[in-house]
Structure 1
Amino acid sequence: MTSLHTDIPTHAQVTRLLTTRAPVAVSLYVQTRPDGSGDAERIELKNLAGTAVGQLRDGDAERGAVASVEEQLADLAEDDEFWRYQARSLAVFVTPEALTTFRLPNQLSRSVEVSDRFHVKPLLRSMTFTQAAFVLELTQGSVRLLEIVPELRPAEVSVPDMPSDVASAVGKSSIADRAPIRRLQGSEGQKVRMRQFARQVDQALRPILAGQDVPLILAAVEPMVSIFRSVCSYPHLTPTTISAGSGDTELIADARRVLDETHTEQLRGAWALFEQRTSQGRTATDIADIARYATAGAVDTLFVDIDATISGFVDEQTGAVEFRETGDAADYGVLDEISRRVWLTGGRIFAVRREDVPGGGETAAILRFAPGA
């Protein structure tokens, strides 16, 4: 499969990050350019690493742990091969024992956080609204799968066992072959062959799409649209279809329009549910209240501003919040901790910009039940 140099975290990887505890845990977010040389990004990483190491030393972290973190970040900065391939943001998570990176298609704000746990909230943006998509261009005479992300050229994905066209898929020299198919002839027989072709395409795609949760956008015309939709097993096929055969430029523009529409519809639906639940007494916008509800497993959906940082502590048992005016190496992000508890209790998280949070604050929540019910 052709890589577009993004590493979208899986659900299991996010869970691992959210549950990591260490005496020293550093989280860095670096803005990157897919078409850049990587030199400016390396300098930025070194600057953020220097800030993190300074905070660790000021916080009296164990000397050997600080040295290990510093060494791992320096090694990453000097890895020429790694910096050749970037997306729009780079997330780096490091403890004295290990370093993990994710190259993300979202443009995230630069930041450095030092604590006993990772600052994962910005990373959740890539899980909320994916910027990547697959486009399946499907006609009677050809088929191809493209992978797209912002600001990068689309890449054609190699799919083993993919049939090349309808005729070859059903062992005929032409789809217009008039030999009967179980006594079906003419246009009805052609549709049977197209369905056989579509089923083979779906089967070939399964190993490629297994475990993915990015949208699959179909580029086709009728009757192929209806036929493929009737056999498609991938759960993230978008309801909107785009035109096939219009050229790559228009195809990709149409696909990105579908992605934007999908994101808008997801957020619109969540806002509508928030308004409905507000009338039922099942929403909250106060951070301290939401922390308690999250600790009790009562939050169904959380909206959280990805750029907001609020330092403090959240009690493990009660969810009571102790706010701090300024953060230090002993503090952690309260919003991160709320997000962690919602994630681990099966809640949905919308990591969005502040203007997309109901009420215009740092966070808002839809509750599973009314308080006191």
Structure 2
Amino acid sequence: MEYKDIPTKADVERIAALRQPGCVSIYLPTGTTPAEADRARIELKNHLASAARALEELKVDRARIRAVHTEGERILDDRDFWRYQSRSLAVFLDGDMAQTFRLPNRLGTSCEISDRFYVKPLLRALTFPQSALILALAGNSVRLLHITPDRPAERIDVPGMPHDVASAVGLASVSGRSPDGRIQGSEGQKVRMLEYVQAIDRALRPLLANSSEPLILAAAEPLAGIFRGAVEYPRLVAETISGNPEDKTDEELAAAARGVLDRLYASKVGALREAYEARIAAGTALVDLSDIARAATFGAVESLVFDIDRRVPGWVDDETGVITFADEDVPGDYGVVDEILRRALGSKATVYALRAEDVPGGGAAAAAVRYPV
């Protein structure tokens, strides 16, 4: 079974704000099968051992090292926790706090030790998630699928879901019946479809209430229009996979849905680039890292776009925001872009993790600012 507890922006802001010696940030790939969870658990145990050695070398207080070890052991020993995993696991420990997130995107393995947490990989899941739900809706069947970037489509069993239009009749109270209770003609057929959609809506709501993933509808008319007119899901994607979904296999629907996601995110990235280019021309957005670092230090960054894969070695002065660039990464330091990100989050900026080719200005980052500094 897959389980996700994707961090909110408030979670990332809170973790990014913490700063003290001995912050341990661990990322590792996991999986939904018992064998995958066992491998991940062993890998986490190895990371915790190496983290303890690194903390000792950094001469972190022994009581804090013991507290980090204790919190890590609690995670390792939590059998229920390891039964329910997703694609990746993020673990943050500092002796005072222990936080885990089970993420739907596949991350590489790493163990970072510093005086602050390494949060940049978390932004992958927040910016443009690559997983989604598909509701394949037809008159004679309905199925809910879950898709991820690296797995076959998975069917989700939804308690209370009607099997077809006929099984849903009478499960919702709507107008459109004859005086003796019978539904007649084409109008009656639409009423039956509405009852069907209402029953599906009631079954889905408990599941979708806690979901952060897009919902993609696969349906033909008039069911598609009836569904969109009867339900209110903030993450329902505007584009529909057209045609009768009964004519498509789960994997064919998954392939179509991935195309929908690609177009959805391409549209969002395009709109973001246009907005930034307009602000760059107007002088209210910055592309030079030195300017961005200064703006982030003084709380002037309104939104930040950054290259998720790029690290720029160096340091940012705590008071002035002046950058000192370095030739290579230093253990325990995450670099210039990561520190800019941390400071931007501290001033409630909106942040977007993008690929290099999508960053406005072509650099490591771009920032829209609230006021000049």
TM-score normalized by the length of structure 1: 0.83
1:189-338 matches, within 5 Å, as: 189-242=188-241, 243=243, 244-245=245-246, 246-310=248-312, 314=316, 319-321=321-323, 326-329=329-332, 331=333, 333-338=335-340
SS at match of 1:241: coil
Distance 1:294 1:231 in 2: 44
SS at match of 1:336: helix
SS at match of 1:115: strand
Distance 1:220 1:344 in 2: 43
1:1-373 matches, within 5 Å, as: 3-32=1-30, 37=36, 41-42=40-41, 44-73=43-72, 76=75, 86-171=85-170, 179=178, 185-242=184-241, 243=243, 244-245=245-246, 246-310=248-312, 314=316, 319-321=321-323, 326-329=329-332, 331=333, 333-368=335-370, 371=372
Distance 2:7 2:208 in 1: 15
Q: 1:179 to 1:63 in 2, by over 3 A?
A: same
SS at match of 1:116: strand
The worse-fitting range, judged by mean Cα deviation, of 143-152 and 240-249 is 143-152
Distance 1:32 1:136 in 2: 27
Is contact 1:37-1:84 (8 Å) kept?
Answer: no
SS at match of 1:30: strand
Q: 1:163 to 1:272 in 2, by over 3 A?
A: same
SS at match of 2:258: helix
Distance 1:112 1:349 in 2: 23
Q: Per-residue deviation at 1:130?
A: 0.8
Q: Per-residue deviation at 1:95?
A: 1.4
Q: Per-residue deviation at 1:149?
A: 2.1
Is contact 1:87-1:103 (8 Å) kept?
Answer: yes
Q: Per-residue deviation at 1:279?
A: 1.9
Distance 1:279 1:56 in 2: 47
Distance 1:203 1:128 in 2: 29
The worse-fitting range, judged by mean Cα deviation, of 120-129 and 77-86 is 77-86
Distance 1:11 1:203 in 2: 29
Is contact 2:30-2:40 (8 Å) kept?
Answer: yes
Distance 2:210 2:75 in 1: 28
Distance 1:165 1:99 in 2: 46
- Aligned amino acid, residue 26 of structure 2: L
SS at match of 1:251: helix
- Aligned amino acid, residue 69 of structure 1: V
Q: 1:83 to 1:192 in 2, by over 3 A?
A: closer
Q: 1:32 to 1:238 in 2, by over 3 A?
A: same
The worse-fitting range, judged by mean Cα deviation, of 353-362 and 213-222 is 353-362
Distance 1:233 1:296 in 2: 40
Distance 2:278 2:220 in 1: 38
SS at match of 1:261: helix
Consecutive unaligned residues in structure 1, runs of 5 or more: none
The worse-fitting range, judged by mean Cα deviation, of 248-257 and 184-193 is 184-193
Distance 2:205 2:346 in 1: 29
- Aligned amino acid, residue 258 of structure 2: R
Consecutive unaligned residues in structure 2, runs of 5 or more: none
The worse-fitting range, judged by mean Cα deviation, of 218-227 and 235-244 is 235-244
Q: Per-residue deviation at 1:66?
A: 1.8
C-alpha deviations, 1:35-82, integer Å up to 9, x for none? 664565455445544443343223221112123324544665576775
The worse-fitting range, judged by mean Cα deviation, of 231-240 and 102-111 is 102-111
Q: Per-residue deviation at 1:226?
A: 0.8
- Aligned amino acid, residue 11 of structure 2: Q
C-alpha deviations, 1:162-190, integer Å up to 9, x for none? 34433333329xxxx99479998411221
SS at match of 1:309: coil
Distance 1:211 1:346 in 2: 24
Q: Per-residue deviation at 1:10?
A: 3.0
The worse-fitting range, judged by mean Cα deviation, of 7-16 and 309-318 is 309-318
- Aligned amino acid, residue 229 of structure 1: R
Distance 1:181 1:309 in 2: 72
The worse-fitting range, judged by mean Cα deviation, of 246-255 and 126-135 is 246-255
Distance 1:111 1:318 in 2: 31
- Aligned amino acid, residue 230 of structure 1: G
Distance 2:285 2:19 in 1: 30
The worse-fitting range, judged by mean Cα deviation, of 209-218 and 141-150 is 141-150
SS at match of 2:21: coil
Distance 1:4 1:308 in 2: 30
Distance 2:116 2:149 in 1: 30
Q: 1:191 to 1:25 in 2, by over 3 A?
A: same
Q: 1:83 to 1:310 in 2, by over 3 A?
A: farther
Q: Tell me how many residue pairs correspond in the alignment.
A: 364
